[in-house]
């Protein structure tokens, strides 16, 4: 009972810290179009900025996963939080493009340190039966940050277009302190002299090459394709509604806020039940199909409330899809939680590198092109998920 209470307390602290950090990230979402407009930055540059973040996240994620296995989750989380705070502060003071890129590169390092450690931490303190619930709680904290972040950001922006970035930096420092002072370590540091498994000693390139041999390789491919498609949608969302419909930051904040509420409610209430009833693979397939179809519908709606309804469903599908994929990967990882979480993050980063670059430059050609491509990619991913389910059924029959 004492261990159970301790684990619950650790999960609550972890969720609170993620809430702070992703509130900090959410703060800047509604003001990004105006911020970029003031600096004279095109859609292509925005795509490259997002890709820069994902590039360093990709390069550091496998290393961060190994470090969290070797030195403990807590150290990686605290260091990542501090780097996140510094990167947001730097973005706020930046007046040149190269500083913006340097800030995003640092932000990617922070994400690489934080997310694999967080996912591995959740796996450390939950049983297989509790895993879906734990992942749902973690993703609910992230979603809730995005829910309250844009609204707070819209208010803070009244004090200056750069003020939300400074607030995000402050949130990162507070989160780091809470982790340092209160969060217990779930995975004690290991003896540095102990040899790591061969797969975990290899370089990033070798890990990516060898990943096709793993039983979760198809899941990694789905993660890449899924992330590529979603990145096309998310990277230019603010620009899309700003250019096509003339939405103000408060309108963007309203859509994102209420579009995320349903996802958070589902994650903390019935997400575990959904996975138990339908299974991770079926839930992933359905969410991919729904997201792809409704992204396509975004191109054909014109009134504010229709846009709100369509994007509401897209955000709901995304908010169910991501923890479902994380749960599936965690169940396959067994005793390599940190390593597999790092690969998960690495394949996500690959999608987040290619997707935003393509979306940004397509946006400069035609604002409808990124969403057309996002629809096609997610439907392809839907087909891959069906293939994975069929192969699983054939193995069981054999």
- State yes or no: pLDDT of 104 exceeds 80: yes
Judgement on whether residues 338 and 283 belong to the same structural domain of the protein = yes
Domain membership of residue 194 (yes or no) is: no
The CA distance from 296 to 313, in Å, is 12
**pLDDT (0 to 100) of residue 3:** 38
Other beta carbons less than 10 A from residue 330's beta carbon: 26
- Final residue of a domain: which of 156, 184, 212? 184
Tokens of 85: 């705070």
Pick 334 or 298 by higher pLDDT: 298
- Please check the confidence at residue 197 and state whether its pLDDT lies above 50: no
Q: What percent of the chain has pLDDT over 90?
A: 8
More confident residue, 197 or 247: 247
Are 217 and 330 within one domain? yes
Query: Residue 377 in contact with residue 229, Cβ under 8 Å?
Result: yes
Residue indicated by tokens 């990617």 = 108
Collect all residues with Cβ–Cβ distance below 8 Å to 2 and sequence separation of at least 6. none
Residue written as token pair 């040149």? 96
Asked if residue 296 belongs to a domain, the reply is yes
Domain count, the chain: 2
Last residue of a domain, one of 184, 219, 237: 184
290 pLDDT tier (thresholds 50, 70, 90): very high
Q: Kindly report, residue by residue over 120-139, the tens digit of the pLDDT.
A: 888 777 777 777 777 777 77
Q: How far apart are CA 347 and CA 337, in angstroms?
A: 15
177/258 same-domain check: no
- Are 166 and 285 contained in the same domain? no
**Same domain flag for 233 and 166:** no
Answer yes or no: is 196 within a domain: no
**CATH code (residue 233):** 1.20.1250.20
Could you report the per-residue pLDDT of 48-79, keeping only the tens digit for each?
887 888 788 778 877 777 787 778 788 888 99
In this prediction, residue 136 carries a pLDDT of 75
Tell me the C-alpha distance between 289 and 295, whole Å: 10
pLDDT of residue 208: 67
Residues 126 and 258 grouped into a single domain: no
Tokens representing residue 378 in the block: 């997610």
Q: Residue 252: which domain range? A: 203-397
Q: What is the pLDDT of residues 214-258, one digit of tens each?
A: 666 777 777 787 778 877 777 788 788 888 888 777 777 777 777
**In terms of residues, how long is the chain?**
398
Domain boundary among 184, 213, 248: 184
> In this structure, what token pair is assigned to residue 169?
């930096």
**Is there a single domain that holds both residue 29 and residue 171?**
yes
Which band of pLDDT confidence, cut at 50, 70 and 90, is reported for residue 297? very high
Q: Are residues 145 and 219 in the same domain?
A: no
* Same domain, residue pair 175 and 217: no
pLDDT, the chain, mean? 78
100 pLDDT tier (thresholds 50, 70, 90):
confident
Q: What confidence tens digit (pLDDT) does each residue in 41-51 have? A: 777 888 888 78
Long-range contacts of 324-327 (CB under 8 A, 24+ apart): 324/275, 324/280, 324/283, 324/284, 324/287, 325/219, 325/222, 325/223, 325/226, 325/280, 325/284, 326/119, 326/135, 326/138, 326/139, 327/131, 327/132, 327/135, 327/275, 327/280
Q: Within a domain: residue 198? A: no
Higher pLDDT, 339 or 55: 55
Alpha carbons 230 and 260: distance in angstroms, whole number:
15
| Lookup: tokens for 147 | 């829910």
- Residue pair 359/236 in contact by the 8 Å Cβ criterion: yes
Average pLDDT in the 250-267 region?
74
| Residue 32 and residue 360 in contact, taking contact as beta carbons nearer than 8 Å | no
Q: In terms of domains, do 370 and 274 share one? A: yes
With residue 71 as reference, give the H or E element that holds it: helix 43-71
Residue 99 falls within a domain, yes or no?
yes
Task: Enumerate long-range contacts of 203-209, CB under 8 Å, 24 or more apart.
Answer: 204/58, 204/59, 204/62, 204/63, 204/346, 207/62, 207/343, 207/346, 208/346
Band (pLDDT 50/70/90 cuts) for residue 199 is very low
How much is the pLDDT for 5? Answer: 41
Residue 85 has a pLDDT of: 93
Tell me, yes or no, whether 111 lies in a domain.
yes
Residue 141 included in any domain: yes
Question: 324 lies in a domain?
Answer: yes
Residues 209 and 166 in one domain: no
pLDDT at residue 153 tops 80: no
| Statement to judge: residues 170 and 264 lie in one domain | no
Q: In which band, very low, low, confident or very high, does the pLDDT at 188 lie, cut at 50, 70 and 90?
A: low
Q: How confident is the model at residue 196 (pLDDT cuts 50, 70, 90)?
A: very low
């Amino acid at each position: 009972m004492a261990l159970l209470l301790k684990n619950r307390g650790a999960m609550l602290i972890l969720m609170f810290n993620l809430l702070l950090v992703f509130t900090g990230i959410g703060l800047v979402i509604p003001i990004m179009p105006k911020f970029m407009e003031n600096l004279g930055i095109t859609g292509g540059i925005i795509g490259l900025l997002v890709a820069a973040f994902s590039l360093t996240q990709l390069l550091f994620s496998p290393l961060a996963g190994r470090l969290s296995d070797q030195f403990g989750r807590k150290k990686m989380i605290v260091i990542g939080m501090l780097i996140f705070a510094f990167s947001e502060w730097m973005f706020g003071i930046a007046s040149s493009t190269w500083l913006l890129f340097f800030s995003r590169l640092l932000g990617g390092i922070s994400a690489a340190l934080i997310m694999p450690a967080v996912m591995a931490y959740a796996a450390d303190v939950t049983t297989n039966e509790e895993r879906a619930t734990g992942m749902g709680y973690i993703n609910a904290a992230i979603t809730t940050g995005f829910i309250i972040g844009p609204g707070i950001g819209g208010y803070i922006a009244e004090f200056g277009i750069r003020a939300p970035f400074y607030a995000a930096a402050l949130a990162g420092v507070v989160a780091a302190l809470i982790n340092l002072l209160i969060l217990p370590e779930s995975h004690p540091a290991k003896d540095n002299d102990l040899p790591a498994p061969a797969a975990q000693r290899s370089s990033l390139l070798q890990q990516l090459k060898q990943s096709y041999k793993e039983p979760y390789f198809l899941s990694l491919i789905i993660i890449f394709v899924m992330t590529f498609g979603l990145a096309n949608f998310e990277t230019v969302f603010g620009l899309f509604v700003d250019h096509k419909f003339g939405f103000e930051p408060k309108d963007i904040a309203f859509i994102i806020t209420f579009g995320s509420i349903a996802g958070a409610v589902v994650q903390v209430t019935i997400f575990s039940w959904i996975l138990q009833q339908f299974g991770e693979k079926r839930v992933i397939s359905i969410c991919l199909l729904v997201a792809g179809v409704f992204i396509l519908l975004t191109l054909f709606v014109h009134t504010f409330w229709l846009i709100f309804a369509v994007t509401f469903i897209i955000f709901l599908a995304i908010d169910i899809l991501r923890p479902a994929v994380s749960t599936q990967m965690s169940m396959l990882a067994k005793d390599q939680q940190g390593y597999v979480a790092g690969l998960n993050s690495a394949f996500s980063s690959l999608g987040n590198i290619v997707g935003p670059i393509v979306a940004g430059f397509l946006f400069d050609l035609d604002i409808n092109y990124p969403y057309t491509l996002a629809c096609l990619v997610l439907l392809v991913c839907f087909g891959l998920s069906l293939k994975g389910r069929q192969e699983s059924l054939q193995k069981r029959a054999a």
